[in-house]
Amino acid sequence: MSDLPPLREVIASHDLRANKALGQNFLLDGQLLARIAAIPGDVAGETVYEVGPGPGGLTRALLEAGATVVAIERDDRCIAALKELCGHFPDKLTIRAGDAMDSVEASLGLGGAHIVANLPYNIGTALLVRWLGGESWPPWWKSLTLMFQEEVARRIVAEPGSGAYGRLSVLAQWRAEARIALKVHRSAFVPPPKVMSAVVHIVPMKVPDGVVFATLERLTQAAFGQRRKMLRQSLKNLPHALESLEMLDIDPRRRAETLSVQDFVAIARAIDARG
Ligand SMILES: C[S@@+](CC[C@H](N)C(=O)[O-])C[C@H]1O[C@@H](n2cnc3c(N)ncnc32)[C@H](O)[C@@H]1O
């Protein structure tokens, strides 16, 4: 929208100096923001839930792509700036002031929404695990398009045998498809963070039968909590785990990082069948 003030002007007029404690690293490059907004596909007519809109750069890009946006922001200084944006997109933007960690998303009427966020790094992983968790699948969201530190993004999409493969890889990949959609150089942010970033795109897939999320969570926590140890050691306190390995013919001398996502699913299913 041509009559929108430049983001730098919004930041100056609302005195939005970046607050480190809130993980504030803003994106101001319109072309880059449009590329991120396009990652979920065509969002025209779709609802997008955005966490941490800040001065509203990504929010603008999503609105310009035709989405209806519900955004939650914790920093009151940003709320006034975002309210101005509402005036440019009547009925298309809803701003919630509050903490995304406390937000009861089910009450926001977000069913079928895409989640798109340049996340504050301190809460990114916790929110991701929450969105990936839950017994009901497919989830209420249609896709996740989330900015992480590149190292975390690599863990989410990692394959077995790599150093990055771990609990987050299994939780993200057992019933969803995860890929790195875009790498973002640290210099694209104001102020630049110390490390590089990447946008991960996650789409739900069919859930494997007979597996409970909580079991998979306990299993991956135990297995990767002591990732250098053999499974017979790391899983010895998890009820039914060692019998399940035996039943599945998985060598208990193996280490967690050598098991595929399907192996973890099979072990969790066998534990649940016994429990
Ligand atoms: C990395 S900045 C991204 C800002 C903007 N989306 C952009 O791309 O320029 C993260 C934003 O999340 C907000 N934030 C931090 N913790 C939050 C929380 N718990 N709930 C909601 N928003 C939060 C910050 O105030 C900040 O605006």
Residue 103's pLDDT is 84
Consult the annotation and say whether 237 binds a ligand.
Answer: no
pLDDT band at 6 (very low <50, low <70, confident <90, very high): very high
How confident is the model over 39-89, as pLDDT tens digits?
Answer: 999 999 999 999 999 999 999 999 999 999 999 999 999 999 999 999 999
Q: How many CB atoms lie within 10 A of CB 217?
A: 17
Which ranges of 19-104 would DSSP assign to H, the alpha helix? 30-38, 57-64, 76-88
Round to whole Å and give the CA distance between 258 and 44.
42
Report the separation in Å between the CA atom of 124 and the middle of ligand 1, taken as the mean of its atom positions.
10
Please state which of the ranges 118-122, 166-170, 213-217, 250-254 shows the lowest mean pLDDT: 118-122
Round to whole Å and give the CA distance between 96 and 83.
10
Consult the annotation and say whether 52 binds a ligand.
Answer: yes
Please state which of the ranges 19-23, 93-97, 187-191 shows the lowest mean pLDDT: 19-23
How confident is the model over 128-159, as pLDDT tens digits?
Answer: 999 999 788 999 999 999 999 999 999 999 99
What domains appear along the chain, each with residue ranges and CATH number? 7-204 (3.40.50.150), 213-273 (1.10.8.100)
Residue 105's pLDDT is 85
Of 8, 10, 11, 24, the one to substitute when testing ligand 1's pocket (max ligand atoms within 8 A of C-beta) is 24
ipTM of this predicted complex?
0.99
**Does the beta carbon of 56 sit less than 6 angstroms from any atom of ligand 1?**
no
On the question of a cis peptide bond just before residue 6, with omega within 30 degrees of 0, the verdict is no
